[in-house]
Structure 1
Amino acid sequence: MIAFGKFVFLGALSVASLSACQTTQSGAEKTSNLDCTNAQLPDIKIVSPSANTPKDIARFSGDWRGKWGGSLCSRLAIVEVSSDGTAKGYYAWGKTNDYDAGFSEIEAQIVGDELKFGKKLYFTFNFEKGADDVLLGKVVTPSSGRVDRISMVRK
């Protein structure tokens, strides 16, 4: 579960091919995402996936950074993945006028091409077509139908 101000998130990260939300990032945009410093995490250590972990699971491992709507800094650190699809990590968000910066520890399950966690908002992340270092994502708020997008790069 991810507490985010007044919200709790459900995440679904997908490595399926992209359709409607396919975009590309310039080098400057990728660098801007890496410079996102107000979404802080405690000291983390990424555990390398074991040799028997399928590539579609292992590719989620890492420290991902991006900006929701181009402005709200966020980090998704998947610190451990197992061959059975279990994953552990952290989600962090930056400070805005509406809420303080913070982070939450997550436990997730990779099922098919999705990594799921949380309870109330629905996240979907896809790897950019042909790239293992860019996650394109969206979050849908069920009550309003609001959709926000993010592009995250691996640090």
Structure 2
Amino acid sequence: MNILKSFCLLSIFFFSLFAAVSCDDISAEPKATPPFVKIPAAGGEATAKVLRMDGGKLRTKWAYKSVEVEKGIFYRRDSTLRIDTLTDGRVKYSSTWYAFYVSMSKNEIHVVVSPNKSKNQRSVRFLGDDLYGAGLVSFAVHQDADTTATK
């Protein structure tokens, strides 16, 4: 009986030790600030800074994951997405009505949205992952509908 009791106590001790040392500090994970912007129907531009979750200088590497457009109540990958590397080192992710520009240092995401001439609001979001899969860089753009549009 003492062996079983000792085994149980050792198991609990090692499980607790494992749980205590395996926690990951997520304060250094990348995060886009602001995480979303609202742009008028006339179009416009906005910029998100990619910082650590605790607001410090970004040191964690992250990579592009996808650009998704809103379809009904869901977001779907944009099948018309074009990806281009510009001469200044920025990467451009674009389609017919939007363009995301990611700086070479990946600390800034800039978006340019063309005028919305439809009576429907539209949304797009840029997604990136840190290289360890724990952090998500998400920058969403919601554009108002044209109140004077007939279709």
The interval holding the TM-score normalised by the smaller chain is 0.3 to 0.5
TM-score, scaled relative to structure 2 = 0.33
Larger helix proportion of the pair: 2
TM-score, scaled relative to structure 1 = 0.32
Q: Look at both structures and tell me which one has the larger radius of gyration over its CA atoms.
A: 2
Larger strand proportion of the pair: 1
Q: Which has the higher contact order (CA 8 A, sep 6+)?
A: 1
